[in-house]
Amino acid sequence: MSCLKFILGYSDEDTVKLDFDQLPFSKVRYWASKALKHFKLHGFIILKSSKNCYHVVFDKTVSWAENMSVVAWVALLSHNKGLMKYLLMQCIKKCSTLGVSSKKEKPFPRVVYRFGNQSENIKEFLKNRKLITKIKTKYAEKA
C-alpha cells in the first residue's frame, strides 16, 4: 500500500509573495526591504522553509498586475533563478502560492523575521497557515 503525501499551500492574487532558494537570510532580508520601500508594501515577514530557502509575504493588498510586477522586479534584479522559476509558475497558474505544510523531510516553514505592518495580508496569511497546518497535523495523526 502506498502512502499518500501532499503539500498544502496558500494561494491568492493580491498578496505579494516571494520564494527564494539558495540565498542566505541577509540577502533575502535585503531584497524584501528593497521591494518594501520601492513598492510601498507596508510590512513583511520572512519564513524559513529549509537551509537557505525562504518565503517572504508582504502586508499590502495589490492588484494581480502589481503583484507580478514586484516579483519580476525582485527576480530580475536579484538574479535568483529559483525566484524567476517561481514567477513563471505563478503567471501560468494566475495566482501566487506558497507551501505552508511540511515537505518530505523538511519541517513546516517558520517565521524568522518581521518588519513593519502585519495587520492586513500577513494577518490573513498567518490565520490560514495555522488552519492548514492544523488540518495537515490531524491528517498525519489518522494516517
Q: Count of domains in the chain?
A: 1
E-assigned strand segments in the chain: 9-12, 15-21, 43-50, 53-61, 96-99, 110-116
pLDDT of residue 141: 63
pLDDT band of 97, cuts 50, 70, 90: confident
3-state secondary structure (DSSP) of residue 128? helix
Q: Which domain holds residue 136?
A: 9-142
Q: Considering the domain boundaries, does residue 98 fall inside one?
A: yes
Compute φ and ψ for 141, nearest 5 degrees: -65, -35
- pTM surpassing 0.85? yes
Q: Considering the domain boundaries, does residue 58 fall inside one?
A: yes
Choose among 5, 1, 9, 4: nearest CA to 93: 9
Choose among 70, 61, 6, 84: nearest CA to 32: 70
Side chain identity at residue 118, one-letter code: Q
Q: Considering the domain boundaries, does residue 131 fall inside one?
A: yes
60-75 residue pLDDT tens = 999 999 999 999 999 9
Q: Considering the domain boundaries, does residue 67 fall inside one?
A: yes
Sign of the alpha-carbon torsion through 15, 16, 20, 25: negative
Share of the chain above pLDDT 90, in %: 68
> Under 8 Å CB-to-CB from 118, ≥6 apart: which residues?
43, 45, 59
Q: Considering the domain boundaries, does residue 1 fall inside one?
A: no
Q: How far apart are CA 48 and CA 16, in angstroms?
A: 17
Q: Considering the domain boundaries, does residue 73 fall inside one?
A: yes
Q: Considering the domain boundaries, does residue 2 fall inside one?
A: no
Q: Considering the domain boundaries, does residue 4 fall inside one?
A: no
**Dihedral angle of Cα 67, 69, 71, 76, to the nearest 10 degrees:** 180
